[in-house]
Each structure stands twice: as C-alpha cells, then as structure tokens.
Amino acid sequence: MRHPISTAWISGSGRSGTTWLGRLLAAHRDSALLYEPLHPGLASFPEDLNPAITDAGDRPYIRAGSNNRSWTNYISSILSGRGFTRRTLFTGIPKHQRPRAIWRAFTGKRLVVKEIRSNLLIEWLTGEFGVRTIVIVRHPCAVVASQLVRNWGTKRNVLDPFLSQPDFVEDHLAGCLDYLNGENLDTVPKQLAARWAIENRAALEVARNNNRVLVVAYEQLVLDSHAELRKAFEFLGWPVDDRVWRTVERHLNPEALSRPHDWLGQWQSRLDPRLVDDILAVTRALGVTRYDERILPVASC
C-alpha cells in the first residue's frame, strides 16, 4: 500500500460492531480495511515486541508518553500501509471481493484499521502518532451474549491480561483490585462483563479530554446510521458525496434497519434475567453506568 494520507483506527470490545463500522468507513473510495493487526493468529509481530501479544485475549497497555521503540516501530509499519498479511486482508472477505481488497491495499490513500485489542492503547496511540480513533461501545449484555455463543472466556481467566500488567493496574485498577481479586467474578459471564467494563472504561476516560477520539454508540449507529456516519466522516475529515453514500448503504444491515429495536434487543431473549442482573452489577461496580436494563444507553456517547 502507498503511504496512506489518512488513517481511521476503529477500537472497541470484541462483538461491539468494530467490523461493521470498519467496513462502513472503508466503503469510502480509495480506502483499505486492515483487519486486526494485533491478532497473533493473523499478524506477524517483531520478536522484541514488549508487551508481547501471544494470545488472542491479550490486551496490551502502554503508558502515554512512554518511549517504546518496538511498539513504535510496529505501529509505524501499520500506519504506513505495511501491515497487510493474507489474513489481515482477507478475513471476513468473500472470495469474489478479494481482488478489490487487494487493489485497495496497494493503491488506497486512506486506511481503516479495525482492532479489538487496542482500547488500552488509545491514549498512547493518539499521543505518539496523532491517529484519529473511533471507539464503538455496545451494551454489555449484548456483547457478553454474543461472546458466550462463541465460547469466549472458557480457556483462561479473561482478567489475567489486565492484572498481569503492573503499569495498567497502577494507572487504572488500583481502586478495584479487591473486587477483581475477590469472589465476585466466579462465572465466565461475570468475567466477560468485567473485561467489557475495564477496557471500555479505559477508552472512555481517554475520550473525555482527547479531541482525536470519537465515541460512537452501536445502538445509535443502528438507529440513525446516516447521522452517525456523517459525524464519523467529518471527524476523520473525509469528504462524502452521493457515490460514497451509495457504496456505504450497501453495507447497512437491512434487518437491523427495518426493525432496529428488535435487532438491538435480541440479548433480552437470549439471557436469563438473573444473568442480566449479574452483568450489570459487575459493570456498575467497575464504574461504567452508561447502560442499564434498557436497550439504549442512558448516557450519551
């Protein structure tokens, strides 16, 4: 890929809509989508990368202003258009669309990076590279319900990646260590809810005072796709014309658009009410009160 003139970094918890938003933004002409360059099964990392990523559940943290040469070099290669591998280019792309994806990867002027492992990196990313970042946030019950269907969190304690990073614990978790290390999180759904709360709280704290970060609610993106996308394109400084909108609209979900509240409320029928209470109790205890038992966020993004 030629050196992109502009990059959109899409960050969010897994199953929050990062792929959908990434594809919507990458529908802009001359744009290429880079799929999860921090996934150890998709990308090739330099041997000296520290903190290292060895598992798909890892969530690396780097303090803002830190001089981290290995990560600086790796992210620089991504932002300069050299982060494409066969898997970061083709994952989720039908075969008949792959030639177009290749063409855009080699000729695109704009780069859309979609990544679910970067919420803890946002302050460092924006400070070190000035990259504009869009954080997408989705109801924790919807996220956990979707993750449970895919058996996420069953191979190891999903909180270990956070608790094993002393800098992150000191900067973000000092006030809730007793809760995280206690007996409160004794089930996989509760641990998944805690991960959602930790990584979203970290991102939202940065977004409050950072004009290079835009927060988008998944629910609002479904309910008013055009308005939310216009906001995103304006934030990125990417001009949009009728041709771009026609392309973007092909990536909108017709089922979600026709019955948005039914679409957004699917988790209510998938989760036992007691499990909903457990998930929300965890997120509240960890300081994220953006969502409650209702489908839509109670606080604006």
pLDDT digit string, tens, across residues 5-14: 799 999 999 9
- Please, what is the angle between helix 122-129 and helix 69-77, to 10°? 80
Residue-wise pLDDT for 268-287, tens only, equals 999 999 999 999 999 999 99
CATH value at residue 42: 3.40.50
295 domain-assigned:
no
Percentage of the chain with pLDDT > 90? 89
CB 217 within 8 A of CB 205: no
DSSP H stretches of helix in the chain: 18-26, 69-77, 86-90, 98-107, 122-129, 140-149, 160-163, 166-168, 177-181, 188-207, 218-223, 225-236, 242-249, 254-258, 260-264, 266-270, 273-285
| Mean pLDDT value of segment 242-251 | 90
59 domain-assigned:
yes
Which residue type occupies 1?
A: M
12 domain-assigned:
yes
DSSP letter string, 77-106: HIIIII---HHHHHTT--GGGHHHHHHHHH
Per the listing, tokens 């998930």 go with 279
Q: How many CB atoms lie within 10 A of CB 273?
A: 9
pLDDT at 301 over 60: no
290 domain-assigned:
no
d(CA 271, CA 51): 36
Per the listing, tokens 């460092």 go with 124
81 domain-assigned:
yes
Residue-wise pLDDT for 45-56, tens only, equals 999 999 999 999
Per the structure, the count of domains in the chain is 1
State the residue range of the domain holding 82: 6-285
162 domain-assigned:
yes
Predicted confidence at residue 2, as pLDDT, reads 64
d(CA 117, CA 228): 23
Which residue type occupies 209?
A: N
Predicted confidence at residue 187, as pLDDT, reads 96
Instruction: Assign 1 a pLDDT band (cuts: 50, 70, 90).
Output: low
d(CA 155, CA 263): 29
| Mean pLDDT value of segment 215-234 | 97
Structure tokens, 48: 């000296």
297 domain-assigned:
no
| Mean pLDDT value of segment 231-253 | 92
Please provide residue 55's backbone torsions phi and psi, each rounded to the nearest 5 degrees. -140, 150
User: The pTM is what?
Assistant: 0.96
122 domain-assigned:
yes
d(CA 164, CA 283): 21
Instruction: Assign 300 a pLDDT band (cuts: 50, 70, 90).
Output: low
